[in-house]
Every structure is written in C-alpha cells, then in structure tokens.
Amino acid sequence: MSNVTIESVLETALYADDLDAAEAFYGDVLGLEKITRAGNRHVFYRCGPGVLLIFNGNETVKPPESSSLPVPPHGTKGHGHVCFRVGGNDIEAMARKLRAAGVAIEADFHWPNGGRSIYFRDPAGNSLECAEPRIWGL
C-alpha cells in the first residue's frame, strides 16, 4: 500500500437557514467571490485556493433526486466554525471593515507566539475567525 498525504482542506461547509442573509454577508461584507447558488439549497464561494460551502441544512438532508449529482444527504444543526487565513497587515483592516458593516468583534486576541486572531459571527450564528497563519506555525 502506498503512502498517501492529505495536502490541504479543499472545501469546508457551514450551515445557514437564511441563504439570502448568508449571501449578502459572505459576498458583500467579507468580499468572497461567489461561485454559484442553487435556489434555497446552497451558495458556494472561492476562498483562496479552497471553497467555502454554505448549505441550508433543511435542504441538504433530503435525498437527491435521481437526476441530481450522486451526493448523499448530509448536514448538521447548530453553529460551526471557520478560520480564514489573513495576513498580519490585513487583520486590522478586516476588523475595521467588519465594524463598519455593523459586525461585532467578539474577541481580538494576540497569541503567545505573536499571531493575532479576530472572532465574529455570521448572520446564522456561525463562529468566524480571521487569523495570521503563524498562530499554527505556518
């Protein structure tokens, strides 16, 4: 058996019942590039080399129709967490942008190794973080 290495996270998912509010937040406030939206089921965004998937969990638990892609039902309830990689020079600019959009910063933390994180919430209550990669030694 050969060694296989996982290279990185290709996509990650969060869940929101109100996709209109999620679309406005991730597109307009955070400035992510929208890839696609499928009705009230999901909206997908480019996020650096990866993809952020925002699903309506009430829709993704339904079995796919026979004409759909063969993705099994999935989903979750409750709030998730995503940390966005942001350069140290841009953390403060992001904090200002969020505050200007009326988004509260829940925590602004300087890690013992010198990295900085800011924490905030999306309209669905998901915990979001913008952090310097050095918090993980990257």
pLDDT of residue 99: 96
pLDDT digits (tens, 9 = 90+) for 91-104: 999 999 999 999 99
Largest CA distance in the chain: 54
User: Could you please report the per-residue DSSP string of the chain?
Assistant: ----------EEEEE-S-HHHHHIIIIIIS-PEEEEEETTTEEEEEETTEEEEEE-HHHHTSPPPTTS--PPP----S--EEEEE--HHHHHHHHHHHHHTT----EEEE-TTS-EEEEEE-TT--EEEEE-GGGGT-
11-63+77-136, superfamily in CATH?
2,3-Dihydroxybiphenyl 1,2-Dioxygenase, domain 1 (3.10.180.10)
For the sheet with 50-55, list strands across it.
11-15, 50-55, 42-47, 33-38
Per-residue confidence band for 138, with pLDDT thresholds at 50, 70 and 90:
confident
**Domain coordinates in residue numbering, the chain:** 11-63+77-136
pTM of the model: 0.88
Per-residue confidence band for 127, with pLDDT thresholds at 50, 70 and 90:
very high
pLDDT of residue 89: 85
